[in-house]
Structure 1
Amino acid sequence: MDLKNKRVLVVGLGKSGISAAHFLREQGARVTVSDSRDAVALAGEIPALLEAGIMVETGGHGLLTFRRSDLIVVSPGVPMDTPELKQVIAFGLPVIGELELASRYLKGKIVAITGSNGKTTTTTLVGEILKAAGLPTLVGGNIGLPVIDLVEKSSDESVSVLEVSSFQLETVEKFHPWISVVLNITPDHLDRHGSFENYAAAKARITERQGSGDFLVLNAEDKATQMVAGKTNAQVFWFSARRPIKQGAFVHGESVLFLPKEGGKAEPIMPVSEIPLKGAHNVENVLAAVCVARLAGVSAEVIRKAVAQFKAVEHRLEFVASVAGVDYYNDSKATNVDATMKAVASFDGGIHLILGGKDKDSDYGQMAELLRERVKAVYTIGSAAEKIEHQLRGVVKMKSAGTMQVAVQDAAESAVPGDVVLLAPACSSFDQFENYEHRGRVFREIVAAL
C-alpha cells in the first residue's frame, strides 16, 4: 500500500490502534486517531501520539473526520455498525482492520489460529514448537502483541503465528494464511455479531483467500467448525480426541498419532499422558498444534519434547496456589459459557465457582447439569450477576458476592481441604476490570493475601 501523504484515520485507541497509528505515521501517512473516550481517560496515550505528529480526536467520532479520510483503519474493539463507519462504508471509503493492514506488510508465512476457546494456548504452543524446531518464529495478534508490531521483525524466512479473533476477521480482505486453524465455534460475542450465524461466518473468513497450496486445520468433533470445510480451497486436515480420522491428528488408545494423507500410515507423536495441560479441551489444542507443526515440517521428536515442556498460559486454567488444602485456579480467559464448562469439566468435583462480569447475551442455563454434578457453590460478581442467579436458580448453592474480593473470601471460608476455588467467569471483564488479564491478576493478588 502506498500510504505516503494519504489521510488515514485510526478508529479506537486500544493496543492495536495505537500501534497502527504509529506504523502508519512511519509510512508517511497523515494520521488522525479517533476514540469515544474522553481526553482524561486517554491521558497516558495522547502525548506520545501528538509528539509523533498524529492528530487526536477524543470524546466521540466526528463524521467529517471520517469523510475526509482516504483510508480508515478500525481497531478490533470498535463495532462495524458504529454510525460513522456505516455511513463512510456506504460512501465507498475503504475500511480495513489492523490485522488486514499488517498482513499487507508482513513478510514470510502466516499461521492463523481462531476459535471460540483455546486460541491463546494453541497459538503459544505452536510458537514454542516451531521455535524448538529452529524456525524463525514470531507470535502475536489477539494474544496481546499487535500484528503490526511484528512487521519490522519479519523476514522472508519467518513464520508469524497469529491468534485472530472474530472481530479482526470481520475486516479482512487480502489476509492470506499459509496454515489456518479453526479450533471450535460456540456461541460468543452475540452482543456484537447479532447472531450465531454471523459469528460463525466471521470465523470462516480466516480461509477466504487460501488456495490449494495452503492448509486448513479443523475440529472433526465440532459441527460448526466442520461447515468451514465447505468454504475453502485449501487442503483440509482434521483433529479429533475421540476417534481415528482420515487425515490429521488424533488420539488412538493412549497415543497421539498424525496421519499425513488419506490411506497413509499413521505416525506416533507422543503418549497422551505426557501432555502437561489440565482438561480434555487442552488435548484438542495439542492435536491442533500437532497438525500445524507436522504441516510445517517439524519432526515428531521435537513436537513431543516441546509439548512435554509446555506450561499453562497465564489466565488459562492457571494454578495459583494451594491454601489450607484448597487449590485455587485462575481461568479469567473463560469469557463465555463454553469455556467455563470446559474449565469445570477439568475437575472431578468440589468446585467453588466464581461467575460473572459483563454479559455477552449468553445463556447460562446451559451449564445447569454440569454445575449440579461438580460444583458445590457459585459466587456471582459484576453486572451479569442477577441474570446468572435467575437462570441457575435452584441448580446449585449460590451467593451474590458482588466483587472479586468478597467472592474469593466467601469461597475460602466455605471450601474444605480437597476442594477447588475456580475463577471461570463466563463473561467479559469490562464492567469491573480493564480486561481479563487485569481480572486474573486481581484474583491472584487476593489469593496471595490469603
Structure 2
Amino acid sequence: MKQLSMMEHKKVLVLGLAKSGVAAAELLHKLGAFVTVNDAKPFEENVEAQKLLQQGITVICGHHPGNLLDEGFELVIKNPGIPYNNIIVEDAIKRGIPVWTEVELAYLISEAPFIGITGSNGKTTTTTLLYEILQQGGLKPLIAGNIGTVACTVAESAEADQVIVTELSSFQLMGIETFKPKIAIWTNLYEAHIDYHGTMKEYGEAKFNITRNQDSSDYLIYNADQEVVASYAENSNAKLIPFTTKAVSKEGISADEDMIYWKGAPILKRDTIALPGAHNLENVLAAVAAAILMDCPKEKMASVLSSFAGVRHRTQFVREWRKRKVYNDSKATNTLATRSALAAFNQPIVLLAGGLDRGHSFEELRPVMANVHATVVFGQTAERFADFAKSCGVESIVYATDIQEAVPKAAQLSNEGDVILLSPACASWDQYPNFETRGDLFIQSVMELDEYKD
C-alpha cells in the first residue's frame, strides 16, 4: 500500500457508513487523518459506528447536522448511495471541498493497476468472468468494487504484480478525481438511475468518468453497437478497443455465429461459450478483449468460457425440476435487463415479474414476450404488469403476494420443456431490502419444489 502523506493530519468527513464508509474510515485513520464519521442511523443501533468509536474515530450519528462542515473539513468521502442534493454534500461543493467515493482513495493507495468495468447492464457478469479468466491465466487478479468487496480494502493488500478487477457504478464514478484504470470497459448505456442523476446526460457523463482520466497508455473497451457509447468513446484519450456482435471487424473484438475474432482473426469457437443469450455474448467479448490485453493464454480463456455458467442472480441456472429449467435473474431490476433475459431463451417461458413501481413502461419487453405463455406477478407493479402481459397475449396470468407464493404457482402453470424464469423488470425495495434477498428466497423456494404436488 502506498502511504499518502497528503492524508496525515487532514480533517476528513466520512458521510454514510455501510461497508464502503467503514472501510474508508479505518483506512484514513491508519493513514494519519483526523476522521469524523456521520451516519443517519442512531448510535445505539449502529454497530459499525460503535466499533469505529472504539478505534478512536469520532462518530456523529442519528442525523446530518446542517453546520457540520463548519468544523473545517478538507475532504468528504461519501457513501455512493447518498445523492448530491444531500444538504452536507451540497454544502461541501459550495465550499469547494472535494467530495470523493472510496474508489478514489483505493486508486491513490494501490500498488496494483486497475481494470474498471461499468455499464447499465452486464458489468457484474463481465467483471466476474474476467476475474475467472485472469485467475486461470495465472495473473493473480483481485476483485473489488460494486460487486461486493470494498475497493480500498482490496487495494490495501494489492501488490504491484497484481491487477484489481473492479465493478464500478455511476454513483461511485461521480466521486473520482484522478482515478485512471489501465483498462476500462463500458458495456452499454441505457436509461437508469434518473431519480439519482436527474437526466440521461448526467448519467452518461458519470459513466464517462471511467475513461475521463485515461491517456494513450491506457485502453477503453466499449460497445460499438451502441451509438451513444461509441460517441462517448470518441472523446476518450485511451486506445480504443471496440466490441461488436453485428459483423466481423478488423478493429477490436467481434463475433459471428461460429467464431470470436480479434482484429479480424479467429481466436475462439462460439460453441465453447456456456453463457446463454446475446447480451452475454457482449459481456464475453468485453472480458476476452481485456484478457488479451493482459496477455492471458488463449487456452485458459477457452477453459473458463466453457464452464462459466453465470453469476448469482443474473440469469443464474438454479436447477432442473421435472424437466423444467429454472433460472434466477433477480438482478433484472429494469426492463432492459429482463428483455435480455427473455431473448436468451427459445423455449416456452413462465415468467415471474413485478416489484417496486417507479412508473416506468414495460413496452420495451413486448418484442420478446412471444415465448411467455404464463406469468406470475407480484409487488407494487403486479396490476400493471398483468395488464401488460394480457395485452401481449399471455395465456395465463396469476397474482402472488410474494416470491415464496409465486414459485409454486409458476410451477403449477409450467409444462415439461418450459423455462421458469424470475426476471422481475423492477427493483425489489417494495418488499425486499435488495435484489439478492429476493433472489435467495426464490432459490430457496425452488429447492423446496420437490415437496410440491401437481
What's the TM-score bracket when you normalise by the shorter of the two chains? over 0.9
State the match for 2:93 in structure 1: 89
CA deviation digits over 1:419-441, x for unaligned, max 9?
Answer: 22211112222232222222211
Is there any run of 5+ residues in structure 2 with no aligned partner, and where? 450-454
Counterpart residue type for residue 328 of structure 2: N
Let me know the Cα RMSD of the aligned residues. 1.9
Please say if 1:412 is aligned against 2:415: no
169, 183, 186: which one aligns with 1:182: 186
* Preserved CA contact (<8 Å) 2:68 2:88: no
In 2: Cα distance, 1:88 partner to 1:390 partner: 46
SS in 2 for 1:432: coil
* Preserved CA contact (<8 Å) 1:269 1:304: no
State the match for 1:263 in structure 2: none
Please say if 1:394 is aligned against 2:417: no
Q: After TM superposition, list the pairs within 5 Å mapping 1:285-364 onto structure 2.
A: 285-360=283-358, 362-364=360-362
Q: After TM superposition, list the pairs within 5 Å mapping 1:371-386 onto structure 2.
A: 371=369, 373-386=370-383
In 2: Cα distance, 1:21 partner to 1:332 partner: 32
* CA pair 67-345 structure 1, distance change in 2 beyond 3 A: farther
Counterpart residue type for residue 382 of structure 2: A
TM-superposed deviation, 1:394: 2.4
In 2: Cα distance, 1:214 partner to 1:360 partner: 38
State the match for 1:54 in structure 2: 57
TM-superposed deviation, 1:416: 1.8
Counterpart residue type for residue 385 of structure 1: A
192, 195, 206: which one aligns with 2:199: 195
* CA pair 146-217 structure 1, distance change in 2 beyond 3 A: same
In 2: Cα distance, 1:101 partner to 1:10 partner: 12
TM-superposed deviation, 1:104: 1.0
Please say if 1:236 is aligned against 2:240: yes
* Preserved CA contact (<8 Å) 1:385 1:402: no
* Preserved CA contact (<8 Å) 1:189 1:361: no
TM-superposed deviation, 1:187: 1.2
33, 44, 57: which one aligns with 1:29: 33
TM-superposed deviation, 1:399: 3.2
Please say if 1:255 is aligned against 2:259: yes
* Preserved CA contact (<8 Å) 2:379 2:401: yes
* CA pair 320-114 structure 1, distance change in 2 beyond 3 A: same
CA deviation digits over 1:266-290, x for unaligned, max 9?
Answer: 3332110110111111111111111
Which stretch of structure 1 is more off in the superposition, 387-396 or 246-255? 387-396
TM-superposed deviation, 1:387: 4.5
* Preserved CA contact (<8 Å) 1:204 1:231: no
In 1: Cα distance, 2:101 partner to 2:176 partner: 7
TM-superposed deviation, 1:167: 0.7
In 1: Cα distance, 2:242 partner to 2:416 partner: 41
Counterpart residue type for residue 337 of structure 1: T
In 1: Cα distance, 2:194 partner to 2:167 partner: 20
In 1: Cα distance, 2:356 partner to 2:107 partner: 32
TM-superposed deviation, 1:106: 1.3
CA deviation digits over 1:102-156, x for unaligned, max 9?
Answer: 1111122111111111111111111122222221211111111010111222122
* Preserved CA contact (<8 Å) 2:386 2:397: yes
* CA pair 74-384 structure 1, distance change in 2 beyond 3 A: farther
* Preserved CA contact (<8 Å) 1:191 1:360: no
SS in 2 for 1:231: coil
* CA pair 403-39 structure 1, distance change in 2 beyond 3 A: farther
Structure-1-length-normalised TM-score: 0.93
In 2: Cα distance, 1:39 partner to 1:392 partner: 47
TM-superposed deviation, 1:158: 1.5
* CA pair 324-301 structure 1, distance change in 2 beyond 3 A: closer
* Preserved CA contact (<8 Å) 2:247 2:256: yes
TM-superposed deviation, 1:251: 1.1
State the match for 1:275 in structure 2: 273
State the match for 1:117 in structure 2: 121
* Preserved CA contact (<8 Å) 1:189 1:360: no
Amino-acid identity (%): 38
In 1: Cα distance, 2:358 partner to 2:130 partner: 29
Please say if 1:64 is aligned against 2:67: yes
CA deviation digits over 1:370-428, x for unaligned, max 9?
Answer: 22x12123322223434544555523343332311122122122112222221111222
Please say if 1:144 is aligned against 2:144: no
SS in 2 for 1:239: strand
Please say if 1:437 is aligned against 2:441: no
In 2: Cα distance, 1:388 partner to 1:135 partner: 46
Counterpart residue type for residue 414 of structure 2: A
